Amino acid sequence: MPYDPDNVFARILRGEIPSDRVYEDDEFVAFRDIAPQAPTHIVVIPRGVPPTSPAGLRDEDAGWLGRMLVRASRIAAGAGLDADGYRLVMNCGVHGGQSVAHLHLHILGGRQLDRLG
């Protein structure tokens, strides 16, 4: 699927749609989800034109993707989630629950989450 430069996350990155940003640097922006699935629900998105989903990742993406995971862990700690735990989620495709075709990562926490599997 080709990247749509008018997707909601691209528009957030350009400042066309307001967001409650909790972190940003040269590579990533993190903001509170507008439809939270947990008391703390933060979305982390890469700047630029990333793959539309995890299915589009390539070997050369390992560096920035690893940094994205490290940033997400630091953001979770900054939100006070590290003591009790949190979940990092990356959805892939319609059946995986992905609603925006811009690779992104969810940080969920603040309560006991249901077990997976």
Which amino acids are annotated catalytic?
Answer: 104
Cα dihedral 52, 48, 14, 80 sign: positive
The structure tokens listed for 34 are 């507008």
* Helix (H) or strand (E) segment spanning residue 42: strand 40-46
Cα distance between residue 4 and residue 99, in whole Å = 13
